[in-house]
Structures are given as structure tokens and as C-alpha cells.
Amino acid sequence: MKELQYPFDGAYLMKKKRSIKKALLSDGSERIEKKIAILGGSTTGDIADMLEIFLLDSGIKPKLWQSEYNAYWQDAVFGNEQLDEFAPDIIFIHTSNRNITEKLTVDMTKEQTDEALGRQAQHFITMWEKLRERFGCVLIQNNFEPPLYRLLGNRDAYDHRGMTNFISRLNERFYEYAAAHDDFYINDINYLAASYGLEKWSAPLYWYMYKYALCTEAIPTLSFSAANIIKAILGKNKKALALDLDNTLWGGVVGDDGVEGIAVGEETPVAQGYREFQTYLKQLKSMGVMLTVSSKNDEENAVAGLEHPDGVLRPDDFVCIKANWDPKDMNVAHIAKDLNILPDSIVFIDDNPAEREIVSKQLGVCAPEIGSVEDYIRVIDRSGFFEVTQLSKDDLQRNEMYIANAKRAQQQASFENYGDYLKSLEMTAYIGDFQPVYLQRITQLTNKSNQFNVTTKRYTQAQMQEVFESGRYIRLFGRLTDKFGDNGVVSIVIGEKRGRELHIDLWLMSCRVLKRDMELAMLDILVKKCREQGIDKIIGYYYPTAKNKMVKELFGSFGFDKTSEDEGGNTVWEMNVSAYENKCGYIEIQQI
């Protein structure tokens, strides 16, 4: 919904939140359902309302539970029957510097302030550990915003008796805990308050009157930040940028002004803006965001512009370049097809509002209002399209993997027989039980794969760790390599053993290796594992979503028999292990 895209009007959203929620719930979208508990050190009702709206807009339908005012610590440490019964998937702890209980005085020694810091940090660590023990779920914790006043003036930042210094050191303790614990994330209100304006954010009147830790107009900003963390955890991040060129990556029109006439570099303020934007995009690429081009241009001119000596980006930084005179929505659709991703995984960046409107309406692609070049980085960055909760090796290599896929597609075109093409790839699959080094990527894949995913079951890191440590499951992960490179971890299977039956909880595969027979390689090893562990029958399940229709008949293609189907299209399949014969003929399988 356009009103919920950054930059949004916080006051408007607070005023219209009920009608916005109603519109979102009636739009017919399919959404993941998750239970989210909010433990608050201040009033949280409006925060919960705004969080719900942003999550609904991101394809997540939250069921929310809130603690009583300032009962966050008691509920966490001593228990709450209602919270226990709710059994949250995610807990968001909304505290602020109003919830710091240690008081500093100017006569305190360094040792005394260190002891106070330790007590305050332990106050929160005790709570986190209790919650992890009871629920084993994702925890999101606010850090602390700076104090509204500095008793010691500028010295407050570095003197051990200054509250500014104390909060900075306390935040560092939070960061150390986050770095050491999976499924624990910081909602950075320290940054949000600074960006928003600390005096406005922390206006005391809202605390005195309503026990709000921030002004009401800033609540959407806080909730949007928390929602970005949640959507990233649940695999709702965007994957690629489709970028216009003229007046987007550089100033001017390369076809009219020539390469020497476009603005990028250090010569003028405008040129500096475009160079800095290209630098930012290069940084996004380095963490796995795929860069593509959708431009109305001659390809020769587009490539020449990207080779400008003062530019930062080069043609080989882009997974694909669509520079032609076709409608841009058509080009973006082709980009999605080329990358084997859905159009809603792409963000379209164009200086022309008419083009943004067409692409957004035709494809459901997010096309933010970017304004002028000095706003580009701020808008894209604050929109949270690429919020990082985990950063795996596969993320860092994603662009190279998709470029290798393009080479595979080129090679396929030279073969008349598809089987001969598969043989030519010289593929090797490495398949085995989960390994600790891959657990992060395995968990990430369960939350990102939507199309080739029969049950679309999602796992947190803690839940995946539990599966990994349990003897109740047969688990498989698969990596696929070929002569063009390593595709990384691309397929996951989890089956629960019930007597002499294996019930498939999860079967997914990355779309970048579709039609390569990787699913057959996984099936061959799965059957082998079942035979080794005395499993006679495999039971498969398909739960339809708006995005996974491609695997509706997956088990049927494997040779399973359909045993039931309900009104919602949910199907159950079964296969006797004894009758199975290996099916993978084009991949060398290395069991690990």
C-alpha cells in the first residue's frame, strides 16, 4: 500500500490506521500467520496497531499479545499464564531509556558506575535467558535512545558519570549479546531517535500524559523498523533492484548528451550525488542484492554510460541489462523471469513518476518515490527493502551465482536435446545430513523459498537447531555444483519419523536450479536413508499457496500415490520405499 511506503506521514497513519487495516485485510492477499508478543516498558497499544499494519502490508498476518503497562520484566522472568498459552513465535521487547533503573550521581567512582552497568545489563540478560528457555523463539529488543538532557554537557558523552556515556556502554552490552545469540535482534531506536530528532522523539509531554516513550507521530517509524526485522526473518525481503539509467544512475540523457556529457564523478555537486549513489548500490551488491537495468535506451548507449571513467558501477556489476524501447513493466517482468524470482521481489528505481506508477500497478512491484539524487540513498535505505538479519556466504555470492545461471541459459540454447544440455553441465550434488556450518543458510532458505516449497513451513534458527539435534527426523541438505560454478545450498528436505513411516515436513528448492533434476537427486538419497533406518513408507503433503503451484504435482511426478485431497486443495501422498528405483540420471551424487 502506497501510504505505508517510506517516506510516510506518521500523523496520517496514526489517524487512518483502522481504515488502512480494513483495506489490507480485504485485499485478498495470502499472508503468513505468526504470533507476536509485545512486552512493553511503556504504553504499547498504538505500537501494536501500527506494527500490525506494516506486517499485513508485507504479507504477514500477526496475532498480537501485549503485556500490561510496564510488566515486561515480571511477565518474562516470573511467567504469565496468558503469555504461556499464547506461545509466541516472536517476542518484541519495547523498552526505552525510561526503563533504565540504575541512577547515576556525580560522586560515583568509576568502579561504582561499572557495577551499576553490570547490574543493568544483567537485568535484561536475565529476562532474555528466561524467555529463550521458555519459548525458544525470536527475540527483538530495543536498544536505548540518548537521554533528552546532558547533565554534564559535552562531558556527558565520555565521563563515567554521564548518562549519555552509560547508555552508550549499555547498548554495547546489548550488541555483544546479539552477536553471540542467533534469533536475537536489536531494534535500533538509538538511530531512529537521532534520525527523527531526539527532542521531538522524546517529547516529555507524551510520557507525562500517556506513558508513551516517544511522541505519537514517531510511533509508525518505530513500528516500521520492528516490522522490517520481522519480515526479513520471515523471508519477505526484496532480492533485486531494477534500475533506470538516465537521471537515475547518472545525470542527463546519455543518448542525447553523450558519455562525456552525463553527470557522474567529482566535478559538480550533482555529479557527486550520482557517484555516491552508485557507490551505495555497489555496496548493496556486495551483500547479495542483485542489480539489474530496465531502461529505455539503446543498449550500446547504456553500456557506454556504465563505462564512464568516473562512474563506480560497470556493466558486469549487473546480473542482466534490459536497455531497449519496450515498456519498462515488460522489461521488469522479463528480469523476474530471467532470475527465476517473482516480480514482487524486485524494487524498481526510476526518476520518472509515470514509469514508477505503470510498473507498480502492472506488476505489484514496489517503486519508491525517490525525489532528487540527494534523496535516493536515504529513501532506499530507510525503506528496509534489504534489512539484514543473517548474512550467509551464499548471500555474498548471489550475484555471481545468477550470472553463472545466465551462462547456463546461453549454453542451453545451443542444444537441441535437453538431456544433452544437462549432461554438458557436468553437475555434482553434495547431499547429506545437516551440518552446523550450513544451519544459518538452511534456516534462511526455509524462510525465502516460496515457489518450490510443498508446505511453506518456516523455521527460526532455534527451531532449526532443535530439528538438527533431534533423532526424530531424517534431514537432508543439498549443494549443487557444475562447470560454471557452485550454486551453494539449494535444497532442503525434513521428514519426521513416525514408526515405520516418514512424514515430510518440508521439501524445498531454490528456483535458481529448477529443471536441473536436483529434486530427483534429493529423492534418491532420501529413499536410501529411509531404507537404512527401517522406514517402509514416505508420506508427502502439499499445502497450496498463491506462489507454490509449480509443486502441486511434485509427489505425483516422483511416483507417489495421492491418498486424499480436501476442499482447500491440500493433498496427501504416499510411496512404498521398497518399490522405488533411483531416478536421477544427469547429476553425479556425492553423499556427505
Q: What is the CATH number of the domain that holds 115?
A: 3.40.50.1110
Among 445, 532, 456, 529, residue whose Cα is nearest residue 34: 456
Distance CA 379, CA 8 (A): 11
The tally of domains found in the chain comes to: 3
Where residue 328 falls among pLDDT bands split at 50, 70, 90? very high
Same domain, 422 and 334: no
Residue 214 to residue 91: CA distance in whole angstroms: 20
Residue closest to 488 by CA, chosen among 527, 526, 449, 453:
449
Between CA 180 and CA 178 the distance in angstroms is 5
Cα 425 to Cα 414: distance, rounded to the nearest angstrom: 12
Q: Is residue 422 part of a domain?
A: yes
Instruction: Look at residues 175, 210, 233 and tell me which one is the last residue of a structural domain.
Output: 233
Model confidence, pTM? 0.81
- pLDDT higher than threshold 80 for residue 314: yes
Q: Give the amino acid at 386.
A: F
- Does position 308 have pLDDT exceeding 90, yes or no? yes
Which residue range forms the structural domain that includes residue 488? 411-591
pLDDT at residue 60, as a whole number: 94
Convert 381-418 to b/e letters by CB count within 10 Å (16 or more is b): ebbbbbbebbebebbebbbebbbbbeebeeeeeeeeee
Overall average pLDDT of the 453-476 stretch:
92
* Residue 165 belongs to some domain of the structure: yes
The reported pLDDT for the residue numbered 411 is 74
Mean per-residue pLDDT, 150-178: 98
CA-to-CA separations, 78 to 75, 83, 130, 368, 483, in angstroms, rounded: 6, 11, 9, 45, 57
Q: Each residue of 213-225: pLDDT tens digit?
A: 999 999 999 999 9
C-alpha cell at 290: 542483485
pLDDT at 517 over 90: yes
State whether 428 and 311 are in the same domain.
Answer: no
H/E segment holding residue 73: helix 72-78
Q: Is residue 410's pLDDT more than 80?
A: no
- Whether the pLDDT of residue 507 is over 80: the answer is yes
> Which grid coordinates are listed for 242?
531494477
Q: Are residues 338 and 269 in the same domain?
A: yes
Residues 309 and 421 in one domain: no
Q: Would 313 be classed as within a structural domain?
A: yes
Query: Is it the case that residue 525 has pLDDT exceeding 80?
Result: yes
Q: Average the pLDDT over 309-333 and give the result.
A: 95
Domain shared by 45 and 113, yes or no: yes
pLDDT at site 404: 75
For residue 336, what pLDDT is reported?
Answer: 92
CATH code where residue 255 lies? 3.40.50.1000
Q: Is-cis flag, bond preceding 269, omega within 30? A: no
Answer whether residue 537 shows pLDDT above 80. Answer: yes
Inter-residue contact 42 to 9 (CB < 8 Å): no
Q: Which residue has the higher pLDDT, 380 or 415?
A: 380
pLDDT at 135: 94
Residue 325's CB: how many other CB atoms inside 10 A?
A: 9
The confidence band for 295, taking pLDDT boundaries of 50, 70 and 90, is: very high
CA distance 488 to 491: 9
pLDDT value at 113 more than 90 = yes
How crowded is the C-beta side of 534, counted as CA atoms within 13 Å?
3
Task: Report which of residues 112 and 510 the model is more confident about.
Answer: 112
Residue 514 CB contacts under 8 Å (≥ 6 apart), including other chains: 340, 452
> Is residue 66 in some structural domain?
yes
The whole-number pLDDT of residue 391 equals 73
- What grid cell was written down for 524? 534418491
Phi-psi region of 507 (alpha: psi -120 to 50; beta: other; left: phi over 0): beta
Residues 157, 254 share a domain: no
Residue 400 confidence (pLDDT)? 78
* pLDDT given at position 377: 97
Domain end position, chosen among 382, 401, 428 = 382
Residue 262 and residue 225 in one domain = no
Least confident of 387-396, 421-430, 543-552: 387-396
Per the domain annotation, does 391 fall within a domain?
Answer: no
- pLDDT (0 to 100) of residue 399: 74
d(CA 330, CA 451): 21
Q: What average pLDDT score do residues 516-525 get?
A: 95
CA atoms within 13 A on the CB side of 464: 28
State the pLDDT at residue 118: 97
pLDDT of 214: 97
- The verdict on 211 and 247 lying in the same domain is no
Q: Are 153 and 162 in contact (CB under 8 A)?
A: no
Q: In the prediction, which pLDDT does 414 show?
A: 72
In the numeric block, which cell numbers belong to residue 403?
A: 550470472
Backbone angles phi, psi at 445, to 5 degrees: -65, -35
Overall average pLDDT of the 20-37 stretch: 93
- Same domain (yes/no): 79, 119: yes
Establish if 394 belongs to a structural domain: no
Q: Are residues 147 and 264 in the same domain?
A: no
Could you write out the three-class secondary structure of 144-159?
A: CCCCCCCCCHHHHHCC
Task: Give yes or no for a contact between 587 and 480, defined as CB atoms under 8 angstroms apart.
Answer: yes
The H-assigned helical ranges of 258-327 are: 269-286, 299-306
Does residue 92 fall inside a structural domain? yes
Question: Same domain, yes or no, for 11 and 113?
Answer: yes
Domain closes at, from 233, 258, 280: 233
Q: Are residues 189 and 247 in the same domain?
A: no
- What pLDDT is recorded for position 127? 97
For residues 12 and 181, the answer to whether their CB atoms sit within 8 Å is: no
Q: In 516-549, which positions are buried (b, 16+ CB within 10 angstroms) versus exposed (e)?
A: bbbbbbbbbbbbbbbeeeebebbbbbbebeebbe
Mean pLDDT, rounded, for 172-185: 95
Count how many Cα atoms sit within 13 Å of the Cα of residue 203 in the half-sphere of its side chain.
Answer: 13
Look up residue 204 and give its amino acid. Answer: P
Output the average pLDDT for the chain: 94
Q: Please check whether residue 33 lies inside any domain of the structure.
A: yes
CATH number of the domain within which 543 lies: 3.40.630.30
Task: List the beta bridge partners of residue 291.
Answer: 241
- Element (DSSP H or E) covering residue 407: helix 398-412
What average pLDDT score do residues 71-99 get?
96
